[in-house]
Amino acid sequence: MPAHQKSIPPPTSGLVVRSAIYDRIVQAVMEHRLPPGTKLVEDRLAELFDTSRAQVRDVLARLADEGVVTTIPNRGAFIASPSPDETREVFEARRLIEPALVRRLIARRDADAVARLRAAVREEQLARARQDRPAMVRLSAEFHVRLAEYAGNRMLERSMRALASLSCLAIFLYDAPHATACREDEHELLLAAIERRRAERAAALMVEHLDHIEGSLDLRPQRDAPVDLAAALKM
């Protein structure tokens, strides 16, 4: 190739970069390293990923479309802070979607998928044993995303990715600091029902599991303590 000609990057290169940025941000959200309200500065992200602002902007637009990022005119993009009502809607959506995903996965009779879910549960248990809370929260969310992926419906998988991220943000905002995203044995019980191909039992366990997660959150309206004007004004 003549020296004055530049090689043309493969057409998928931009997609690869955007996917890498997207995955890194979502993982940081799931591990509570990017808490709700964090500003995502385009210039800084472009610098960190050695890419253009246009690439970053595309990723932020995707995250905004999924509800994980909130864009405020003239202020920029921020990690979303789901309200109590939005959090309830997230879990309502999950209760509609995930039992169907479980039934679909069982109907596929995919032994390899079940084995991969088993490996994911083991990884989660190891994180729990070493009391690695960020990894526990992320792996708990990823279990649900993987289940959606292995169920074989790409539209529902994409929805589940967004719902899992929003659930992690809600846990950050409304969960007790010592609590975990999922109870210790519930993924194990769910997986056992999937392995035995007990579809209705697995679907019921999924609903119960999601109820437990939502029930662990304090979604009551927060009432600000009355302000003592005299004390505030130092009168």
What is the layout of strands, in order, in the sheet containing 76-79? Answer: 39-40, 76-79, 69-72
**Which residue bears the tokens 């890498």?**
20
Residue type (1 letter), 111: A
H helix runs in 81-226, sequence order: 84-108, 111-129, 133-151, 154-174, 186-195, 199-215
Per-residue confidence (pLDDT) for residue 229, from 0 to 100: 47
The rounded distance, in Å, linking the Cα atoms of 143 and 117 is 7
The DSSP bridge partners found for residue 77 are 40, 71
**To the nearest whole number, what is the mean pLDDT of the chain?**
87
pLDDT tens, 48-88? 999 999 999 999 999 999 999 999 999 999 999 999 999 99
Per-residue confidence (pLDDT) for residue 11, from 0 to 100: 40
Residue type (1 letter), 133: R
Per-residue confidence (pLDDT) for residue 185, from 0 to 100: 86
Of 71, 74, 97, nearest to 163 (Cα)? 97
pLDDT along the chain (235 residues), means of 10: 46 78 93 92 92 95 95 94 96 97 96 96 93 89 96 94 94 70 82 96 97 90 57 52
Q: Does domain 13-79 have CATH number 1.10.10.10?
A: yes
Q: Under DSSP, is residue 171 helix (H, G, I), strand (E, B) or coil? A: helix
pTM check: above 0.95: no
**Domain extent listing, the chain:** 13-79, 84-215
CB proximity list for 160: less than 8 A, separation 6 or greater:
94, 97, 98, 101, 144, 145, 147, 148
The rounded distance, in Å, linking the Cα atoms of 55 and 49 is 10
What does the buried/exposed string (b/e) look like for 171-196 if buried means 16 or more CB atoms within 10 Å of the residue's CB? Answer: bbbbbeeeebbbbeebbeebbbbbee
| 84-215: CATH architecture | Up-down Bundle (1.20)
CB neighbours (10 Å) of residue 114? 18
User: In this structure, are residues 80 and 70 in contact, taking their beta carbons and an 8 Å threshold?
Assistant: yes
Residue type (1 letter), 196: R
